[in-house]
Amino acid sequence: MSFAIAIDGPAAAGKGTISKAVAAHFGFAHLDTGLLYRAVGAKVLDGVDPIEAARSLVAEDLENDALRTADVAQAASRIAVIGEVRAALVDFQRAFARRAGGAVLDGRDIGTVICPDAEAKLFVTASAEVRAARRHAELLGRGAEATLQEVLADVKERDARDAGRAEAPMVAAVDAVLIDTSSMSIEAAVTAAIAAVEAARK
């Protein structure tokens, strides 16, 4: 029996951490769909055509350690506006969502485009300033050099691009439960997410 949980939201809102915790709590498989786009973005940075990169993507490509770099993140956001790229990755995501035993998918258009029939939908967000501070701390922890102002500008640029694209813009599904993590601890956010899923399962 399948049970799909769609978790959407902007970068650094906490959806990845929450999604992994929710998947672990319910014993479901987890897919960070952003990694699909990052994997394509990494191939594009290596000179591969975006559409060809998306169509030739295999599971092993998601295990590349370089997928978390800022350059790859920007490349992923740029190629995510290409309709043919998105179409090539849709089937992969939908098949994952309907796998036996349940699945959690996190991204930006899961509840609206990929799995509009998901049994549970969450939209995890936070203010741009809070998200920039989180991302800045993460980058510093990796030894990257970037000012908070640069990271904030990058976050706002990605938000505008993700929300304004013609193909599958980032918006909360009308039936999604909103979780604003701006002033929440991870533990509180995970508890809220699990409660929302439990309510959907009844």
50 is in an annotated binding site: no
Residue found under tokens 């929302």: 196
173 Cβ contact list (under 8 Å, min separation 6):
6, 8, 111, 112, 116, 121, 123
CA distance 182 to 122: 16
143 is in an annotated binding site: no
CA distance 190 to 202: 19
15 is in an annotated binding site: yes
164 is in an annotated binding site: no
83 is in an annotated binding site: no
12 is in an annotated binding site: yes
121 Cβ contact list (under 8 Å, min separation 6):
5, 6, 7, 8, 110, 111, 173, 175, 176, 177
9 is in an annotated binding site: yes
101 is in an annotated binding site: no
CB 23 within 8 A of CB 30: yes
54 is in an annotated binding site: no
Query: Annotated binding site, which residues?
Result: 9-17
Query: Annotated binding site for ATP, which residues?
Result: 9-17
